[in-house]
Structure 1
């Protein structure tokens, strides 16, 4: 199926806007982006008139708990934290995803077409994250990168959970030591494994150490839950000690050390921005933080941490960040190309460009205008969401198999 979205104000994000531009979708990928005269529309293609509207790539929320924490379902819908082991590197978020959680429909209404789903932050090492599209009937349909990163936590969460449970670890010292011991064990494991392979000897695979070995060799980045500035510095210290790729998640006090983050080229997935000061670590929360980090030269993404903030509020957080000093162009990059680049997903999502997945959203106007809304959403070229002006509600393509 070929679809041509024509006449809109096309914002590729990683390129200059095109007034009256065309986005050509061929199957599940973008075939062309350009002016009306630059893009040849094949005979038989479906034409979608976007005149007077804005056309953008789908947004990414790269720190979400969609499908593994179903809001309102209580314990039966909460598969976020497997807190039975301080080192849960072998745990995989993909094994807990329910594609029918209502949050996935909310994501489409907010123009969010991709998410990185992460385990929680109860334990020092929480597990492996997964990149999904926000429409699909099963994980087979939705997953487009099955191992994206490894989630870890510093600060109050692991300290509190383990302090209450069995007293190990119960301080920041203990949490950092747990992570350090885990990487030391993985480094030794990797050396033994390589020696066994070189000698042609059998070797017993350990899933926890295999995962951490992939972090050490640079295959998987390290997503570090951390709020306080001193904890962010600890995260940097650990990363430099073991040589892995660090991504700061939350980074509530990151603006207080923005120069250090920029100097070390440590990216920050910031948020949720709409949150109370519900714990001590959030006492220096600032709506100005996105702008401060961006102006300092820190690579920035914005997250809702769904369900902490509903995922369809992702763009509203960007709007507030702009109100408080973040440049509008930077705000759009923080929802698209930046998060895609941080987590190695830029070959699939994050911009409107030939060869990328056809995740395209037609907005009624500038998405950074609070009155704008997503009118039509394509995920991998499939038309999966439309706003119905008559009912004032969005209509999502059915996720359930129907006999025909």
Structure 2
């Protein structure tokens, strides 16, 4: 058993318990409250969290940790298979290196889980995975894989394939290639279902099988979109094929907040601290999460590591809080909201009985620059302790 006692407990499930206690056993939270009723075992390890903030572990809903390592050259970069525009069959779990130092940096910042996957050079990049930040074996770190299918609109695929003198080099072609692929996958799905219903032999297609979780709404499209026209094109295509989707980056989302709300899709916003290096990010601003939240859109804030460094994710949320998002919504944007958006809220994102014991303990508000991480706990195990 592990007992965290006397902390300022932000459950992110609607409750602030001060002072509060969290009891953990076998990697799970078994009790949260002002008092602990469970009889403690003699070997229970106790953390006195007096005057400390106790929160669910922080979550990054979009990054490339372990795939684009903080090293120069191709050796540490497996982010983009930029040789052909449509690669839905690629799996993040086959490229994530748990020994990327960024994982340790994440743990030092109280970040306990991430959504990681391919980059945005391709129209379809492949499958993301949701995983814990502690571990040495990817298969043991994974919470959900596949967790989303990466697709990209706008400048990145245009510029990548223009250099190769092949399609796509226009936004029209990006949309057409994605529609074509989704149409092929939909036809494949119908043929497969018909064969199964008629008890007939059906030869599976390795590439098209990767679309089945998307078409069955088990996982969403994860759409790289910055500009308003790209956001609206992504929404248009997702609606045409009746798919779930997240709007990743959503840089100009504040301009069309009502349209995004009407779409019903979630926004995964950032990175806003990076330079405005492309035309499509000229309107990047930390006000975007606040505007979208006030319009009724559920928002997560991201690092897009290594575009901006993952260990500063809480500070990015703080800058958004300063620009109109507010403190509580800022905390939600890096805890419970990304858990809901990534489809793993049954396991992480809040301090509730039955959930994974992924917990971060801070000297104060983690969105403030002077705050230190005191403990990071993953699956009930202390994996980082300040000055240890």
Tell me the equivalent position of 2:361.
362
Distance in 2, Cα, partners of 1:354 & 1:361: 16
Query: Aligned to 1:135, what secondary structure does the other structure show?
Result: coil
- Shift, 1:324, TM fit: 1.1
Check if 1:231 corresponds to 2:242: no
User: Contact (CA 8 Å) 1:20, 1:36: kept in 2 or not?
Assistant: no
Distance in 2, Cα, partners of 1:27 & 1:37: 17
C-alpha distance after superposition, 1:182-233 (max 9, x if no partner): 0100011011111222232222211221122321111111100000001000
Query: Aligned to 1:357, what secondary structure does the other structure show?
Result: coil
User: Contact (CA 8 Å) 2:23, 2:36: kept in 1 or not?
Assistant: no
Check if 1:41 corresponds to 2:37: no
CA distance 1:244–1:8, change in 2 (3 Å): same
Check if 1:113 corresponds to 2:93: no
Check if 1:159 corresponds to 2:158: yes
User: Contact (CA 8 Å) 1:24, 1:41: kept in 2 or not?
Assistant: no
CA distance 1:370–1:40, change in 2 (3 Å): farther
Distance in 1, Cα, partners of 2:37 & 2:198: 59
CA distance 1:365–1:98, change in 2 (3 Å): same
Distance in 2, Cα, partners of 1:239 & 1:144: 25
Tell me the equivalent position of 1:199.
198
Tell me the equivalent position of 2:56.
57
Tell me the equivalent position of 2:352.
353
Tell me the equivalent position of 1:340.
339
Tell me the equivalent position of 1:277.
276
- Shift, 1:38, TM fit: 5.1
Residues 128-143 of structure 1 aligned to structure 2 (within 5 Å): 128-143=127-142
- Shift, 1:290, TM fit: 1.3
Query: Aligned to 1:325, what secondary structure does the other structure show?
Result: helix
C-alpha distance after superposition, 1:12-48 (max 9, x if no partner): 0112111111010101111111013556534431111
Residues 1-400 of structure 1 aligned to structure 2 (within 5 Å): 2-36=1-35, 40-388=39-387
User: Contact (CA 8 Å) 1:250, 1:268: kept in 2 or not?
Assistant: yes
Query: Aligned to 1:183, what secondary structure does the other structure show?
Result: helix
CA RMSD of superposed structures (Å): 1.2
Distance in 2, Cα, partners of 1:58 & 1:155: 33
5+ residue gaps, structure 2: none
User: Contact (CA 8 Å) 2:314, 2:367: kept in 1 or not?
Assistant: yes
Distance in 2, Cα, partners of 1:16 & 1:153: 38
Distance in 1, Cα, partners of 2:72 & 2:101: 11
C-alpha distance after superposition, 1:225-284 (max 9, x if no partner): 000001000000001100000100000001100011112221100001211110101111
User: Contact (CA 8 Å) 2:21, 2:36: kept in 1 or not?
Assistant: no
CA distance 1:374–1:39, change in 2 (3 Å): farther
Tell me which moved more, 62-71 or 37-46: 37-46
5+ residue gaps, structure 1: 389-394, 396-404
Distance in 1, Cα, partners of 2:318 & 2:213: 37
CA distance 1:28–1:293, change in 2 (3 Å): same
TM-score, normalising length from structure 1?
A: 0.94
Query: Aligned to 1:275, what secondary structure does the other structure show?
Result: coil
Q: How many residues align?
A: 388
Distance in 2, Cα, partners of 1:162 & 1:40: 63
User: Contact (CA 8 Å) 1:22, 1:39: kept in 2 or not?
Assistant: no
User: Contact (CA 8 Å) 1:33, 1:39: kept in 2 or not?
Assistant: no
